[in-house]
Structure 1
Amino acid sequence: MVSEKNPPTPGTLMVDAQNRIGEFRGEWCGLWSLRPVTGGREWTVDPQSVRPASPEQRLRAENSRLNARSRGEYL
């Protein structure tokens, strides 16, 4: 179970309140950092406003990552 006191492991795909999918990167001052799956700038979220990605969302995110990698946009 994911909670403020028990954050997910780094790399876990999470969905924020704006439906953005990102990898959990860590916790700082009560906020969680997420990073886009295809790379880019991290953003912070309130732990109460995120949830784990569904299997379908994880599959789409992994496909996006692989497509970006094949285009040379993500290493």
Structure 2
Amino acid sequence: MKAGEYVIDGRSGRVGQVMGHVGGYVQLRPPGGGREWDCPPEVLSPAPPGEVLRERVRQLNRQMRLAP
């Protein structure tokens, strides 16, 4: 997995953007930003474009609800 690619964490189903590699793990961040998490590379699969878009819309909606 290369930095910038979008993948699905097979453990949770979350979509993440590859930020880098540390030790034996891949560091992922949600498409709209947020807290990174570590994932073993063997459970990752490429994210279809529709899944990435759906996750971005979810995060934008969440941000709009929290905005004053």
Normalising by the smaller structure, the TM-score range is 0.7 to 0.9
Provide the aligned C-alpha RMSD in A: 2.0
**Structure 1 runs not aligned, ≥5 long:** 1-6
Q: What is the TM-score when the length of structure 2 is the normalising length? A: 0.74
Runs of 4+ residues deviating >2 angstroms:
61-69
Cα deviation, 1:54-74, whole Å, max 9, x if unaligned, reads: 1211222344466578x4x8x
The within-5 A match list for 1:48-67 is 48-64=42-58
Amino acid at match of 1:14: V
Q: Distance in 1 between matches of 2:57 and 2:4?
A: 16
> Going by fraction, where is helix more abundant, 1 or 2?
2
Give the drift of 1:52.
0.8
Match of 1:16 in 2: 9
Amino acid at match of 1:35: R
SS at match of 1:44: strand
Q: Distance in 1 between matches of 2:47 and 2:13?
A: 10
> Going by fraction, where is strand more abundant, 1 or 2?
2
Q: What is the TM-score when the length of structure 1 is the normalising length? A: 0.68
Number of aligned residues:
64
**Structure 2 runs not aligned, ≥5 long:** none
